[in-house]
């Protein structure tokens, strides 16, 4: 019997992905159905349901679940089960009017131009988009990438159970790194792990990430380096480059028996605290007992405090999740200590000074952030060696050197090291 944490709200995983002849028959049927176009976010959510990462969801949410999720973190249709972010599908008014309740429709990915699944439509409803944004993102600012996505949604949401036909390009493009929950659980069980800490990554693994992972290994059986391979915002480093950089660091600087790498297909919402909770939900489905929650987890810009994603775990019911947060303080390289450190351990408070050539000029604390790393790289500036291992820096430099058009990377206040906890 497995000693791993159980899936969220269910004794077993509930993948909705069809296989073999059942899949072939459903695809044949789907070709005769009305097509509902899906955005990249909706497609990635469908795949997450398909692989069981969103256990125990069985489809896109109806209005009561949407409202309960936004307002109270719960799903009325599932006896008040904890869920932090709406999983919805939108469409146009004309298309919604043409669909009868109970009708089956084909779910069409507009980017790959392929049928991803089918859905039996059990509900059609409008939402207050500003209300959702305020609840989930704590802002209605259109500059926020998550808000922008919600405001661009169609005016009508469709609800109903789904059958998933395809995982899109993920299994092939990210072969060896893309992982389904049951596959991750199998690896953990084969290694005899009971406690597993998930490290969420959407950036290459810089020094602070590695430091957090090493700490997690000290208190858990192992760490699951779990990186997002879904769509990101402009300026973020592409998944294929990030995978290569993380491979270089993990393969050389970690004990093989204490780390597992995996990739998941969800698209970032940049919802900060709320997204940290969603990360916890599906990491539990992957078999993780803990989620490393560091500075500005899943944040963007200056919309959230640096540790809001940690605080929110104290605001939800104690029994909401089996997984627990592994809260880490602000980490940095300290020139006085001569090592990585955190605000809990390091007594030296002065900010490190680095000149335009990347050379150290004095001070103690050098804050390592993915945003700062991307900015230095995008501007062709030297990166201090303390940011990451040379193998990682070389891979990232090759990527930025190959770009014909540079994307401006703006620093938020938590990436500069100017703000104290």
Q: Is the pLDDT of residue 379 over 90?
A: no
Q: Is the pLDDT of residue 318 over 70?
A: yes
Q: Is 100 designated active site?
A: no
Same domain, yes or no: 340 and 402: yes
**Residue 11 falls inside a structural domain:** no
What's the rounded Cα separation, in Å, for the pair 245 and 392?
A: 5
Same domain, yes or no: 230 and 194: yes
Q: Is the pLDDT of residue 419 over 90?
A: no
User: Mean pLDDT throughout 3-31?
Assistant: 98
pLDDT at residue 420, rounded to an integer: 46
Q: Is the pLDDT of residue 25 over 80?
A: yes
Same domain, yes or no: 117 and 182: no
Task: Identify the sign of the CA torsion 237, 238, 240, 243.
Answer: positive
CATH code for the domain in which residue 103 is found:
3.10.400.10
Q: How confident is the model at residue 1 (pLDDT cuts 50, 70, 90)?
A: confident
pLDDT at residue 202, rounded to an integer: 84
Helix (H, G, I), strand (E, B) or coil at 106: strand
Containing domain of residue 100, as a range? 20-166
Number of domains in the chain: 2
Same domain, yes or no: 74 and 212: no
Locus of tokens 């201090």: 384
User: Mean pLDDT throughout 361-372?
Assistant: 88
Q: Is 29 designated active site?
A: no
Same domain, yes or no: 73 and 186: no
Same domain, yes or no: 307 and 177: yes
> Which of 203, 274, 285, 295 is an active site residue?
203
Same domain, yes or no: 198 and 143: no
What's the rounded Cα separation, in Å, for the pair 399 and 387?
A: 17
Quote the mean pLDDT of the chain.
92
pTM of the prediction? 0.92
- Structural domain ending residue among the three candidates 144, 166, 188: 166
Q: How confident is the model at residue 415 (pLDDT cuts 50, 70, 90)?
A: very low
Same domain, yes or no: 161 and 191: no
- Structural domain ending residue among the three candidates 166, 195, 218: 166
Could you tell me the two tokens for 262?
């995996």
Q: Is the pLDDT of residue 421 over 50?
A: no
Instruction: State pLDDT tens for residues 206-244.
Output: 888 999 999 999 999 999 999 998 877 777 788 888 888
Same domain, yes or no: 191 and 149: no
- Structural domain ending residue among the three candidates 121, 148, 166: 166
Give the single-character DSSP code of 154: -
**Residue 12 falls inside a structural domain:** no
**Residue 6 falls inside a structural domain:** no
- Check residues 382 and 14 and name the one with the higher pLDDT: 14
**Residue 337 falls inside a structural domain:** yes
User: Mean pLDDT throughout 22-43?
Assistant: 98
> Which of 202, 242, 269, 365 is an active site residue?
202
Q: Which residues are within 8 A (CB) of 11 and not within 5 positions of it... i.e. 6 or more apart? A: none
pLDDT at residue 357, rounded to an integer: 83
Same domain, yes or no: 139 and 203: no
**Residue 96 falls inside a structural domain:** yes
pLDDT at residue 408, rounded to an integer: 59
User: Mean pLDDT throughout 281-291?
Assistant: 98
Taking the CA atoms of residue 152, residue 123, residue 13 and residue 325 in that order, the dihedral angle to the nearest 10 degrees is: 50
CATH code for the domain in which residue 249 is found:
3.40.50.620
Same domain, yes or no: 113 and 228: no
Q: Is the pLDDT of residue 301 over 80?
A: yes
Measure Cα distances from 212 to 134, 308, 391, 403 in Å. Answer: 31, 18, 19, 31
User: Mean pLDDT throughout 377-403?
Assistant: 88
Of all residues in the chain, the percent with pLDDT exceeding 70 is 96
For residue 179, report the phi and psi dihedrals to the nearest 5 degrees: -145, 135
What's the rounded Cα separation, in Å, for the pair 196 and 220?
A: 6
Q: Is the pLDDT of residue 378 over 60?
A: yes
Q: How confident is the model at residue 406 (pLDDT cuts 50, 70, 90)?
A: low
17: β partners:
164
Locus of tokens 């392929």: 114
- Check residues 175 and 370 and name the one with the higher pLDDT: 175
Instruction: State pLDDT tens for residues 53-101.
Output: 999 999 999 999 999 999 999 999 999 999 999 999 999 999 999 999 9
Helix (H, G, I), strand (E, B) or coil at 334: strand
**Residue 5 falls inside a structural domain:** no
Q: What is the full DSSP assignment across 215-241?
A: HHHHHSSEEEEEEE-S---TTSPPHHH
**Residue 192 falls inside a structural domain:** yes
Instruction: State pLDDT tens for residues 92-143.
Output: 999 999 999 999 999 999 999 999 999 999 999 999 999 999 999 999 999 9
Specify the length of the chain in residues: 421
Same domain, yes or no: 131 and 236: no
**Residue 7 falls inside a structural domain:** no
Q: Which of 174, 158, 194, 169 is nearest to 322 (CA)?
A: 194
Could you tell me the two tokens for 301?
């810009």
């Amino acid at each position: 019997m497995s000693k791993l944490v159980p899936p969220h709200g269910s004794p077993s995983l509930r993948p909705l992905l069809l296989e073999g002849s059942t899949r072939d028959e459903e695809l044949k049927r789907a070709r005769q159905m009305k097509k509902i176009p899906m955005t990249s976010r909706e497609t990635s959510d469908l795949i997450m349901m398909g692989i069981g990462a969103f256990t125990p969801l069985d489809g896109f949410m109806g209005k009561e679940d949407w409202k309960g999720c936004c307002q109270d973190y719960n799903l009325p249709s599932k006896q008040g089960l904890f869920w932090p972010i709406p999983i919805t599908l939108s469409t146009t008014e004309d298309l919604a009017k043409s669909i009868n309740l109970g009708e089956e429709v084909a779910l069409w990915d507009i980017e790959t131009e392929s049928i991803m699944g089918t859905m039996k439509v059990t509900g059609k409803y409008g939402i207050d988009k500003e209300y959702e944004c305020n609840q989930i993102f704590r802002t209605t600012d259109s500059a926020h990438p998550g808000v922008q996505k919600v405001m661009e949604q169609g005016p009508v949401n469709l609800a109903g159970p789904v059958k998933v036909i395809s995982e899109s390009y993920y299994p092939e493009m990210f072969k060896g790194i893309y992982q389904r929950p049951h596959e991750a659980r199998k690896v953990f069980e084969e290694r005899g792990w009971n406690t597993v800490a998930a490290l969420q990554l959407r950036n290459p693994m810089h020094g602070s990430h590695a430091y957090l992972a090493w700490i997690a290994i000290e208190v858990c059986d192992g760490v699951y380096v779990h990186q997002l391979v879904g769509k990101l915002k402009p300026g973020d480093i592409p998944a294929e480059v990030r995978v290569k950089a993380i491979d270089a660091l993990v393969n050389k600087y970690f004990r093989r028996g204490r780390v597992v790498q995996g990739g998941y297909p969800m698209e970032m919402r940049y919802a900060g605290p709320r997204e940290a909770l969603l990360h916890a939900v599906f990491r539990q489905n992957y078999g993780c007992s803990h989620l490393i929650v560091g500075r500005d987890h899943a944040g963007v810009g200056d919309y959230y405090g640096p540790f809001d994603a940690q605080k929110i775990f104290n605001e939800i019911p104690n029994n909401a999740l089996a997984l627990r947060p592994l809260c880490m303080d602000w980490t940095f390289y300290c020139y006085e200590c001569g090592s990585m450190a955190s605000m809990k351990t390091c007594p030296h408070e002065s900010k490190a000074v680095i000149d335009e050539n990347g050379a150290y000029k004095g001070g103690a604390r050098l804050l390592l952030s993915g945003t700062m790393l991307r900015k230095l790289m995008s501007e062709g500036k030297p990166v201090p060696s303390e940011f990451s291992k040379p193998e990682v820096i070389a891979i990232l430099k090759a990527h930025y050197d190959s770009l014909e058009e540079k994307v401006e990377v703006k620093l938020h206040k938590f990436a500069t090291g100017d703000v104290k906890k």
